[in-house]
Each structure stands twice: as structure tokens, then as C-alpha cells.
């Protein structure tokens, strides 16, 4: 299924409700005056990444370092792929207002090991930060960049050489050494302002190596295409699905914790489920701990949820249920 357009606007794979500005009128009072504990009241961390770990390749062939929200370094079958890196203080067009980080980056961008590719799922500010991209373009000169259609122009303005960037439509693939990266549909939207929504594509990705398979779900509401993705590209050793920034008002666009569990099962329910898109920014109305508390309560769920910044090997059948978020407040 390749992406379809209506004029210059990309369309979702299934009919999707998008309320736009009308949502702000509905959520405004709750956002500004609601009583939910949407941010930590105490200091989180500090968390740190031991860069010396990267001197040796993962013994099992698959290792992931989660930096918070949807940012991760995935080391799969000898290839390092940095996914949706956000080192900004705020997930916002400006750094003087907007959702602020709950904890500091666990490692400086220039301290990261050399990466083979940087993968960007869509152009929203909590997935594509201008300062982060510009810095990576300077310090990761040999990296490939893999993005959905239209996002390459944004990266070019931030210093990424056009010949280092591969733009993919849904179901298109590119190779990074022995790992095949395939862009796949999600049910979401794009736009870095209210004036250019849907003009660049959004995507999830399957990372398929000789020995391991990872699905990065990026941002998405639930939809019936997950089953086909699992059948065609799975079984996955690790399935990364969003659990935060959800609300019934925008359920078509963000699946939330309950939807993530259903989607994991639709994708085949193999391997381990890694919760992403939580724990770093206040982007919704729910208490900040609710998403992880919800998925942890599901009986029989093979959960892989590490401490921010800690490189962890992905071993079949071995869950990680870090409780870093239970720090006293």
C-alpha cells in the first residue's frame, strides 16, 4: 500500500478523524486548569549512558538504548540505527515555550558512537528537532538518513546533505548494510505548523536483519493494517509501540496503552513489546505515569521497558520492567 494524496496532502490508510483547532477549544480548560499530575513534581534522574558499552557489539546481536519518548539507538545485526532523536529542551518550534523535558539527555549528541543511519518517522517537533538534526549532521557525517516522502527538504535546510538522505513511500525499502529498512503505513498526520499539515508523509518502519526483526510503530492510532504488517515482516523480536500522549478526543491518531496492547497482538504478539512515546514530555491530559502503569498491569504481556539511557540487549523471553519512573516526587 503506497500513500495516496488529495492534491498535495497525504491521506491516511483508513478514514481518520482529525479535528485540528477544534480540539483546542475542547481540551483548553482541562489543559490549563485540570488537576491531573501531567508532569513529575520531583527531579528525575540524572540518567546517564555508559558509552564504553558501545565498544563491543551486542553479544546476542540486538541491543537498544532508549533515550526517552520515541528516541532510541537500535543496534541490530551489526548496524546502528538512531531513531527519532530529540535532544531539545522542549518539543516545540521554540525553546522558550512548549512541552519541556522531564529529564536531561543521558548522553551528549557528540558522545554517541558512529551510527550507520538516522531514521525519522515524521516531522512533528517531538520526533524531528531542528537543533538535534543540525548537530547530528555535523557530528555523524557518514550516517545515512532515512525519512518518509517530503521530510528530506526539512533535513536539507538543517544541513543534511541531499545525497545522504533516502526518502521512502509506504512499502518502499532501502538497505543499510545487511539490514533492510521498510517504511510502512501508520494512522497519523504531519506538519510543523497549522498551515502545512499532511504535506509530508508519516511512517512506521520494519528493520529486518539476517537474524533479528524490529518493528518501530512511531505515532499511530489503531488500524486493521497491523495484522498484515506482522504477517509480512514479522515475527518481530521487539515491537516498539506508543503508549503516551493519548486521549479519546484523538484516538484515531494515538493508540494509547490499551491500543498498544491490542496492536501488539494484532502484529502477531511475538517477542517483546517496548513502550515508547512516553516519560519525557507532557503532550496530553493524562497523568504522566498512567501509560506505563496501564501496560504493566496487563497479565501475560511480554514487556521490555528499560531505564532511560541504559544500553540493554534484547534476549528472547527476557522481560525488562524498570521502575525508574517510581522515583519519589
Q: What percent of the chain has pLDDT over 90?
A: 88
Q: Write down the pLDDT at residue 43.
A: 79
pLDDT at 22 over 90: no
What is the arithmetic mean of pLDDT over 212-217?
98
Beta bridge partners of 73: 65, 82
pLDDT band at 29 (very low <50, low <70, confident <90, very high): low
Q: Write down the pLDDT at residue 310.
A: 98
What is the arithmetic mean of pLDDT over 189-203?
95
Q: Write down the pLDDT at residue 14.
A: 96
Return the number of other C-beta atoms located less than 10 Å from residue 216's C-beta.
26
Per the prediction, the chain carries an average pLDDT of 94
What is the arithmetic mean of pLDDT over 46-62?
97
Q: Write down the pLDDT at residue 275.
A: 98
How far is 124 from 122, CA to CA, in rounded Å? 6
pLDDT at 36 over 70: no
Place of cell 514530555: 281
For residues 64 and 306, is the Cβ–Cβ distance under 8 A?
A: yes
pLDDT band at 327 (very low <50, low <70, confident <90, very high): confident
How far is 31 from 42, CA to CA, in rounded Å? 20
Q: Write down the pLDDT at residue 1.
A: 84
DSSP per-residue codes, 14-29: S-----THHHHHHHHH
Q: Write down the pLDDT at residue 255.
A: 97
DSSP per-residue codes, 234-287: ---SEEEEE-SS--GGGTTT--HHHHHHHHHHHTT--SEEEEES-SS---SSS-
pLDDT band at 20 (very low <50, low <70, confident <90, very high): low
48-69 in b/e burial notation, b at 16+ Cβ within 10 A?
ebeeebbeeebeebbbbbbbbb
> Comparing 51 with 43, which gets the higher pLDDT?
51
Domain parsing of the chain, residue ranges: 61-317
Per residue in 114-137, pLDDT tens?
999 999 999 999 999 999 999 999
Of 106-110, 193-197, 218-222, give the lowest mean pLDDT range: 193-197
Per residue in 71-83, pLDDT tens?
999 999 999 999 9
How far is 147 from 192, CA to CA, in rounded Å? 15
Of 86-90, 193-197, 259-263, give the lowest mean pLDDT range: 193-197
Determine which helix (DSSP H) or strand (DSSP E) holds 137, and give its type and residue range: helix 130-139
With the CA atoms of 149, 93, 249 and 265 taken in that order, what torsion angle do they form, in degrees rounded to the nearest 10? 50
Cis peptide, bond prior to residue 46, ω within 30 of zero: yes
pLDDT band at 25 (very low <50, low <70, confident <90, very high): very low
Cell readout for 325 is 519512573
Instruction: Quickly name the fold that domain 61-317 has.
Output: Metallo-beta-lactamase; Chain A (3.60.15)
Q: Write down the pLDDT at residue 27.
A: 52
pLDDT band at 23 (very low <50, low <70, confident <90, very high): low
Amino acid at each position: 500500500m503506497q500513500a495516496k494524496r488529495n492534491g498535495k496532502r497525504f491521506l491516511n490508510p483508513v478514514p481518520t478523524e482529525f479535528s485540528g483547532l477544534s480540539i483546542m477549544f475542547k481540551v483548553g480548560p482541562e489543559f490549563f486548569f485540570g488537576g491531573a499530575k501531567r508532569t513529575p513534581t520531583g527531579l528525575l534522574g540524572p540518567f546517564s549512558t555508559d558509552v564504553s558499552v558501545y565498544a563491543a557489539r551486542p553479544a546476542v546481536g540486538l541491543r537498544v538504548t532508549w533515550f526517552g519518548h520515541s528516541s532510541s539507538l537500535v543496534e541490530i545485526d551489526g548496524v546502528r540505527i538512531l531513531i527519532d532523536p530529540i535532544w531539545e529542551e522542549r518539543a516545540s518550534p521554540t525553546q522558550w515555550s512548549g512541552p519541556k523535558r522531564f529529564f536531561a539527555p543521558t548522553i551528549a549528541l557528540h558522545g554517541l558512537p558512529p551510527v550507520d543511519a538516522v531514521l525519522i518517522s515524521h516531522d512533528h517537533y517531538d520526533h524531528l528537532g531542528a537543533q538535534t538534526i543540525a548537530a547530528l549532521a555535523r557530528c555523524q557525517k557518514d550516517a545515512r538518513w532515512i525519512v518518509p516522502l517530503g521530510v528530506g527538504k526539512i533535513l536539507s535546510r538543517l544541513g543534511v546533505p541531499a545525497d545522504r538522505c533516502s526518502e521512502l513511500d509506504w512499502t518502499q525499502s532501502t538497505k543499510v548494510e545487511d539490514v533492510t529498512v521498510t517504511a510502512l503505513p501508520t494512522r497519523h498526520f504531519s506538519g510543523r505548523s497549522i498551515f502545512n499539515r499532511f504535506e509530508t508523509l508519516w511512517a512506521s518502519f520494519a528493520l529486518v536483519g539476517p537474524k533479528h526483526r524490529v518493528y518501530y510503530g512511531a505515532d499511530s492510532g489503531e488500524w486493521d493494517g497491523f495484522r498484515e504488517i506482522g504477517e509480512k515482516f514479522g515475527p518481530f523480536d521487539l515491537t516498539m509501540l506508543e503508549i503516551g500522549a493519548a486521549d479519546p478526543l484523538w484516538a484515531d491518531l494515538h493508540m494509547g496503552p490499551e491500543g498498544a496492547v491490542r496492536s501488539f497482538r494484532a502484529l502477531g504478539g511475538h517477542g517483546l513489546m517496548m513502550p515508547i512515546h512516553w516519560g519525557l514530555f507532557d503532550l496530553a491530559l493524562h497523568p504522566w505515569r498512567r501509560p506505563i502503569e496501564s501496560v504493566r498491569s496487563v497479565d501475560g504481556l511480554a514487556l521490555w521497558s528499560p531505564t532511560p539511557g541504559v544500553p540493554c540487549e534484547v534476549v528472547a523471553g527476557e522481560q525488562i520492567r524498570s521502575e525508574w519512573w517510581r522515583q519519589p516526587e
